[in-house]
A and B are shown apart, each in its own frame.
Chain A
Amino acid sequence: MTTAAATHTHRDDVGSRMGMWLFLFTELILFGGLFIVYAVYRFKFPEQFQLAARELDTLVGTVNTIILLTSSLTVAMSITAIQQGKKHLSMMLIGITIIFALAFLVNKYFEWSHKISIGIYPQSPELLNKPPGEILYFGLYYVMTGLHALHVIIGMVVLAFSMVFIATGKINQQSYVKLEAGGLYWHLVDIIWIFLFPLFYLIS
């Protein structure tokens, strides 16, 4: 009797995915609030935003965009791999995704350190001497890319756990909704960047 009860596990993958999507909508509203602040101040200070954006390196932003888009590809492919029962390929693809995430953060680290070294950081005397629009631009730049980078770090942790779950068999060919949820989170991080990139890097 107990074995029969144990084998009858109730699972609702559609419900699990829907829960994940609902969570992603709260994330959309979280970033959405910041995008509204950005929109209003860019509307009020269009020239100063353009001037401030010249400090950003379009090449670094483009490279990071390509890194994130490719990492989205590898995480999506890892789901196809697990659906086909290719456990090691799936783990390898997630591993590549995590390496891409690291590369993104390393780029971000150098970008931020360069800004800080030339005196552009919140409350720096250099920045406070600039016109209000430029102060706002860099404030938003640090908050929005910072919050995004935090999401990248969380995504890396989630994907690392997915890798362990595949290794231990908790995620397998029949049951992989946990990996799907991790993938959905990662794609959201990608979509946020798809908007951050043109709004901060491509306006000068």
Chain B
Amino acid sequence: MSQPEEQHTQHSISYGRYILIWLGLLAFTGITVTLAGIDLGRWVIITSLVIASVKSLLVLNIFMHLKFEDKMFKIFALVAVATLTIFITLTFFDYAFY
């Protein structure tokens, strides 16, 4: 019997690597909660959003295997995030700078 099915290019990730990423995610959660307890003023929003973005990148790249997918997946993801960023930026032109 021949192998009629498409070849898998799927990457297999070890449990150890997943657990490492999970520990990293927990550490970032600890950092963001601790920072929220300190009065950082305006920086609170920026630091918490930066940490949330780093956590999302870890989930996207490793848990969701984006790092190991075709280039096309990454371009799509970038376009999606860029679209949302443009929406938010353009909205603020109406509110922040008038």
Which residues on A are within 8 Å of B, measured CB to CB?
Answer: 7-14, 17-18, 21-22, 25, 28-29, 32, 35-36, 39-40, 43-44, 58, 62, 65-66, 69-70, 72-73, 76-77, 80, 83-84, 174, 180, 183-184, 187, 190-191, 194-195, 197-199, 201-203
Using a CB-CB cutoff of 8 Å, which residues 56-88 of chain B contact chain A?
A: 56, 59-60, 62-65, 69-70, 72-73, 76-77, 80-81, 83-84, 87-88
Q: Count of A-B contacts with CB under 8 A? A: 127
Determine the chain B residues whose CB is within 8 A of the CB of A17 once the complex forms: 69, 73
Q: Does B36 contact A40, Cβ atoms closer than 8 Å?
A: no
How far does the Cβ of A92 sit from chain B's closest Cβ, in whole Å?
13
How far does the Cβ of A94 sit from chain B's closest Cβ, in whole Å?
15
How far does the Cβ of B85 sit from chain A's closest Cβ, in whole Å?
9
Q: Does B29 contact A62, Cβ atoms closer than 8 Å?
A: yes
Which residues on B are within 8 Å of A, measured CB to CB?
Answer: 1, 4-6, 8-10, 12-15, 18-19, 21-22, 25-26, 29, 32-33, 36, 44-45, 48-49, 51-52, 55-56, 59-60, 62-65, 69-70, 72-73, 76-77, 80-81, 83-84, 87-88, 91-92, 95-96
Q: Does B64 contact A11, Cβ atoms closer than 8 Å?
A: no
Determine the chain A residues whose CB is within 8 A of the CB of B77 once the complex forms: 21, 25
B interface SS class: helix
Determine the chain A residues whose CB is within 8 A of the CB of B76 once the complex forms: 18, 21-22, 25
Known A-B contacts A36-B88, A70-B22, A80-B18; A191 and B59 likewise in contact (beta carbons under 8 Å): yes
Q: Does A83 contact B12, Cβ atoms closer than 8 Å?
A: yes
Known A-B contacts A69-B25, A69-B29; A13 and B88 likewise in contact (beta carbons under 8 Å): no
Q: Which residue of A lies closest to B25 (CB)?
A: A69
Determine the chain A residues whose CB is within 8 A of the CB of B60 once the complex forms: 187, 191
Q: Does A73 contact B18, Cβ atoms closer than 8 Å?
A: yes
Q: Does A184 contact B64, Cβ atoms closer than 8 Å?
A: yes
A66 to B25, CA, bound (A): 9
Q: Does B72 contact A18, Cβ atoms closer than 8 Å?
A: yes
In-complex Cβ contact of A13 among B8, B51, B59 (8 A): B8
Q: Does B88 contact A80, Cβ atoms closer than 8 Å?
A: no
Q: Which residue of B lies closest to A204 (CB)?
A: B36
How far does the Cβ of A85 sit from chain B's closest Cβ, in whole Å?
11
In-complex Cβ contact of B63 among A11, A36, A66, A187 (8 A): A187
Q: Does B36 contact A198, Cβ atoms closer than 8 Å?
A: yes
How far does the Cβ of B86 sit from chain A's closest Cβ, in whole Å?
11
In-complex Cβ contact of B32 among A25, A36, A80, A202 (8 A): A202
Determine the chain A residues whose CB is within 8 A of the CB of B59 once the complex forms: 72, 187, 190-191, 194
